Structures are given as C-alpha cells and as structure tokens.
Amino acid sequence: MKTTPTHAAAAEEFLKDGERSHWHDDTLWHVRSKRDLSAQKIPEWEQLRTNASQIKDHVLSNLDQLLLQFEKNAAKNGIEVLWAKDADEHNQHVLRILEENQVKNLVKSKSILTEECGLNHFLEDKGYDVVDTDLGERIIQFNKQVPSHIVMPAIHLKKKEIGDIFHEHLGTDEGADDPAYLTEAARQHLRQKFIQAKAAITGVNFGIAETGGFVVCTNEGNADMGTHLADLHIACMGIEKLIPRAADLGVFLRLLARSATGQSITNYTSHFHRPREGKKMYLILVDNGRTDQLGREDFRNSLKCIRCGACMNTCPIYRRSSGFSYGSTVPGPIGSILSPGMDLKKHSTLPFASTLCGSCTNVCPVKINIHEQLYKWRQVITKEGPAQPSKKWAMRFGGNVMSKPKLFDMMGNLARKSLSISPRGFVYNSFNAWGKHRELPEVPKESFKEWYRKNRKQ
C-alpha cells in the first residue's frame, strides 16, 4: 500500500527547484497584495468580516433546522434534493442520476467538493467522459494532476508549461505561450464540449435556506454555459455552505472575491432557484465528515470557510512549498485544520507545517481562528499520534530545561559561548535544515535577564 509522504518530505521535493519555489512565492504574494489593496478601499471591511463570522456562527448553531428549511424550499421549487453521508454515497447518487437519464457526456465547473469525493476518477472508471470547463481545472485535467490551489488550480504551472500541455492535447503551435492565444484555443475546444454535453455538474458557493435557491460564483461563465445548454443540472453542496437569508448574501459576495483575488466581485454570480421547463435539477447535500467536525468544539469554526484561498496566498509555508506538499484536497492553513479531522494518521504532519504567525487568521474573511486551531491540532496529534522518538525526547528535554530557571540560565550561557567560538561548519551543515537558507543573528554577549538586572534602575 502506497504511503502518503509527510509534508516536510513533499515540500523538500518541491524546494529542489529553487527558482520555481521563489516564483511561486512571489506570484501568490502578489495575489495577497491585491487582496489588501481591495480590502483597504472598503471602510467597513472589518465590520463585514465580523458580520460574516456571526452569520456563520448562527448557521453552525442551527444547522439541522436550516438544512430542513433549505430542503423544503428547494423541493417546493421543483429541485430534487438528495442526501449523502460520505463521498461514496455522493458518487453513487451522481452515477444513478446519469444512468437514469442516459447521459454519457458531461461538463463540470469548479467544485472542491467533487474533488474531495473523487468524482472525476469514479465516473471515468465507469466509462463517462467528464470535462472540467474551468480553464485552470482543464489544464490540470490534461496534465493528470489535482488542483494545487482551491481558487487558482494551475498556479504551480508557468506559461511555457501550459503551452506545451496545449500543444500536446489541443494541437496549438509548438512553443506558443501567449496567454490570449492559449485561452482562445481552450475556448474553441470547450465550446464543442458544452454543445455535446447532456449534463452539467456544478458546485455551490452559497445555499439560501430562506428561498431554497443556491448561488455559484465563477469568473469565466463556464457554470452558466454548461447549465444553460444541458438538460440536466447536478449541484453538489457541502452542508456547511448554507446562509439563512437572501439578505445575508451581499455580505459574503463583498468578501469572497476581494479575499480570493482582489476583485470587487466575481464576474458571474449565478442564482439557481428551479429547473427550467423541460429540464431537471438535482441538489446533493453532502456531509462527508462535516458533522464530526461540527461536534469538535475546538475545530467547529473551520466549517465557516467560504473557500476563498486567502489563507494560502498569505501563508509563508504554502507559498514556498506549493499545494501538492499537503497531500489533501484543500491545502494550506485551512486544509491543515480540516484534513486531520478526516484522517488523523494520514494528515498528522499538516498542523506542523505552519509558523503559527497568525497571518492566515488575519486575512480570513469569516474570522476563523486558523492558527489557534493549528496549535490545538498539534496538541491532539502529540497526545494521540505516533510522534517520532527524537521529537518526544527533544520536547521532554526542552520542557525540563524551561521548568528550571537555574538550568535554563546555565544552558543559555553555554549555548551563547558555544555558538560564539564554534566553527561555521559546526552550525551550518546537512543536519541543520534551517541553516540552508538562513543566517543566525549575531550571538548576544548576555541574556535579556542579565541585561535587565544591570539596567533596571536606569
């Protein structure tokens, strides 16, 4: 059985290409900077974040009743509502719908939930032609990869690499990497897929309990194109994506795109309430571990996430190690608090892939306390998980030193003296991973405690 590499091992592989790592870092920081500029134009930005967080608090505290209200109103609108306790039941629902309607070709807009459920591979194994129509998703589908980012799935690829992929799969000119040329080639290719498809699958950004309708946000209009042309619309929604009222939607729409890419709003904000005449619409409500997370008092706030990706764009670990180093559907800081709840053993290294700097919490549009949850997961994993013997010994030794002031002072003096006289190779070597790209500050002659004793009267 193939084992999942630790985050550190996967990150080390990505970091072997130093130029790509720096480029990836700079690219995502540029997106983070755009978010800051966009947010600064809204005087009430922090109030919007507070409002969104409080609305989500209400949703999580009343999720059972709101889901029943949503189901009742959606059914009243003519939408067939189905429930799925896990990924397998979700996929079986989709398969049954396609079989009953004799559909073999379908188009799909971006959906993190269907990635989570492994829907594409499941349907392809059954002989279905599944076409991702989001440009980034189509690129990585051609490249037989999974998304490395929940908003920008192909952010890890450069123009030239995309040009090579399109040359192989779409017959574009060899070596061509002009974005306008490549986009036009994708547009012509996807147009035929839209026309041929008999079913369209979308995700859901927001379900509105009050109306039974739901909202899908895209920048390319691919969700609209697919659902308008196909006879069958299957919408897949995590049960936490609810908001109580239509009036609440404006709060989240003002936050979502600004947090994700720095835009004021997504180019397309599509509202679906009922199937058109002669068409069918299905809505699958998926749990897949969400109620388990809801029951974890320390981690339930993670279900507030609106999948903007802002925490990824700001995280120094994600920016330098890429989404593939996480080994989870949702990477980055938010993925590191969601994934251990799904499989603690598999994802036990993710909460440690953080500096706990708190930048993720600062940019989260719904005020999830991400860095605090990362710290709490570390405590759970250290207590329950199979920690490395060397790490256990180091933590036990460190705790012993820090609990004894005299021993702590002695060790501090010893460390300062040793570092000041040690040859460089003793400190910077293959055993010191941090020293590969960093220099220690100048070693102080005295500790702060010693300095304070000398100077406190002054």
Tokens of 454: 């000398």
How many CB atoms within 10 Å of residue 17? Answer: 11
Amino acid 387: pLDDT: 62
For residues 264 and 257, is the Cβ–Cβ distance under 8 A? yes
How many CB atoms within 10 Å of residue 401? Answer: 14
Give the orientation angle of helix 159-170 with respect to helix 135-142, to 10 degrees.
Answer: 70
Average pLDDT for runs of 10 along the chain of length 458: 78 92 96 97 97 98 98 98 98 98 95 96 96 96 96 95 97 95 96 95 98 97 95 98 98 97 95 96 98 97 97 97 95 97 93 96 98 96 74 85 92 89 84 79 89 85
Spatial strand order in the sheet of 242-243:
242-243, 206-208, 214-218, 268-272
Residue with the two structure tokens 């829907």: 119
- Can you count the helices (H) and strands (E) in the chain? 22, 10
Amino acid 396: pLDDT: 86
Amino acid 17: pLDDT: 92
Amino acid 1: pLDDT: 44
Closest CA to 288 of 144, 112, 137, 126: 112
Instruction: Provide the strand spans (E) within 188-229.
Output: 199-202, 206-208, 214-218
- In angstroms, the first-to-last Cα distance of the chain is 66
β-pairing, 280-286 vs 80-84, is parallel
Give the start-to-end residue ranges of the domains of the chain. 42-288, 400-456
Rounded to whole angstroms, how far apart are CA atoms 51 and 57?
10
Rg of the chain (C-alpha set): 25
Q: How many residues does the chain have?
A: 458
For residues 227 and 278, is the Cβ–Cβ distance under 8 A? no
Please tell us whether the domain made up of 42-288 is placed in CATH 3.40.50.10420.
yes
How many CB atoms within 10 Å of residue 322? Answer: 24
User: SS3 helix, strand, coil % of the chain, rounded to 5?
Assistant: 55, 10, 35
Rounded to whole angstroms, how far apart are CA atoms 355 and 374?
10
